[in-house]
A and B are shown apart, each in its own frame.
Chain A
Amino acid sequence: MRWYAALIYAFLYLPIALIVIFSFNSGRYAMDWEGFSLSWYATAFANPLAVKALWTSLTIAAVTAVLASILGTLAALGLERVTPRVRRSFDAAIYIAVMVPGVVIGIATLIAFVTVFDAVNPVLANLLGTAAPKFTMGLPTVIAAHVMFNLAVVVLIVRARLAGMDKSLLEASADLYATPFGTFRQVMLPLLMPAILASLLLSFTFSFEDFIIAFFVAGPNVTLPIYIYSSIRRGITPEINAIGTVVLAVSFTLLILAQYLLRERAPRA
């Protein structure tokens, strides 16, 4: 039994270990070890396309994380006060967002955007002439799509925290003549903070790592996963190992932080 478990752990970690190990390989081929070197990191960071993709991904992930966390927290708080019927429809939307395959969501979002833009752009051009803005696929469309799927996650996390919260603290605050906003700012917000920060980190990571939805709605913008995807299609190169190791380091750090923040809740609940 113990040997079986060891074997499974080896199976789980071998591929990730290989990416990290071979990112320090000086050789040209992914699987032949020719000595330690940081040259592939140098190559990756000197590659303007890779660096631009990294910045694009970081921008999208940062904006997505902030928007999804704010809107998701607001929704979770509001859902405490709506009728069961509204709450059920909201739950249904979350369920659909989680269940429908990413590839279908990506395609659906793409054709919905294109359809709307094709309808709106000629009208705008007619009304405003050459000064008219022309809507196309780009950063805003990726961010909007990412916010949508991260909202489901944020709402679930914040609601879990709200469910474990001691409501008498809010009453006590009101009894002590705090205004509703004062109660929110001085009691509710600090209690919710770990959940909000965890949402922020998780949304950032999900957005940063998303390939399939960005693949459809990013237009001409290349995010890091899209860059990695097209590099892999061109053939295996050690540069991907270096980029991959950086991505792994960023994702793991953020996720460990998020996990830590969510765990804080356990002793109190």
Chain B
Amino acid sequence: MTAATRSRIGTAAMVAPAALFFIVLLVLPLVVVLVYSFGLRAPAGGYQPGFTLDNYLNLPARAAAFLNTITLAPLGTLVTVLIAYPLAYFLAVKVSPRWRTLLLVLVIVPFWASQLLRIYAWMMILGNRGIPSLLFAAGLGDIRLLNTPFAVLLGMVYGYLPLMVFPIYVSLEKLDRRLLEASADLGASPFRTFLQVTLPLSLPGVATGSMLVFILLMGEFIIPAFLGGGKVFFIGNALVDLFLQSRNWPFGAAVSVALVAIMLVVIVIYMRFILGRSGTRRMVLS
């Protein structure tokens, strides 16, 4: 055996175990889901081989879950952008470098805590013994907060705010301050400078953050389960129900495929958008 062959075998032996994990536990299962989505439900639940499009034609039966997801996920993303942007702007532009690192770390720390626990904390806060009881005591009436779309939206914003702040911060931090001075020298008001210089140049960060958050929100399960209380459910909740309760695997598989397909379409459109953006940016700056 030559040294080259030996080294090639060595390389293969190093990469193979990880590759095997990805093939057996990622690619193969996803293929199985695709195959099952065309299959039949076994009488006792589970899967029975077959070929039918019924599962896909049946998707409207879960229209409510799809509708909730494709309205609340983008809405949650939008609200998260609106709340994250001023904070990212503050951190990148207004804070002195001495405090910046500490404040940035403080944004990410809550994100480290288990999602389950953070959502549980909001159940305490929004539950009848939490804010509503304070409001009631203040004479503001009996307001229900938990198990409403508001609670789900709040949980989504809370859960993913750090993921949005970071990319926006990065694009704002890269911003060339001389452009702002130039804009001011040319007589633009600070607000106009923000609208015409700062905001457009930070859009790639907004786009990246939005994509990250949107992807995670589309697959969300815990937030609607705990804060939506079975009233505001997502595709993720429909999937858990289909696989673990009704054991209708082929239909669940079709719902999974539809979810991933919707995400792929949105991502492809988004990628175009980001690439288009950075293209114009490069032209502007050169």
Contact = CB atoms under 8 A, between A and B. Distances in A.
* 6 tightest A-B CB contacts, nearest first: A101-B219, A78-B14, A15-B121, A108-B29, A75-B18, A112-B29
A81 B105 CA distance: 36
A15 B114 CA distance: 12
A232 B226 contact: yes
A218 interface: no
Interface in B185-242: 215-216, 218-219, 221-222, 226, 236, 239-240
A50 to B, nearest CB: 14
Contact of A78 (B15, B106, B110): B15
Interface residues of A, number: 74
Contact of B120 (A102, A244, A252): A244
B140 interface: no
A150 B262 CA distance: 25
Interface of A is mostly: helix
Nearest to A5: B90
B14 A74 contact: yes
Nearest to B87: A8
A108 B30 contact: yes
A77 B243 contact: no
A211 B115 contact: yes
Interface of A: 1-2, 4-5, 8-9, 11-16, 18-19, 22, 29-32, 71-72, 74-75, 77-79, 81-82, 86, 90, 93-94, 96-97, 99-105, 107-112, 114-115, 144-145, 147-148, 151, 155, 205, 209, 211-212, 215-216, 225, 228-229, 232, 236, 240, 244, 247-248, 251-252, 255, 259
Interface in B6-47: 7, 11-15, 17-19, 21-22, 25-30, 32-33, 36, 46-47
Contacts of A148: 21-22, 25-26
A120 B77 CA distance: 45
B110 A13 contact: yes
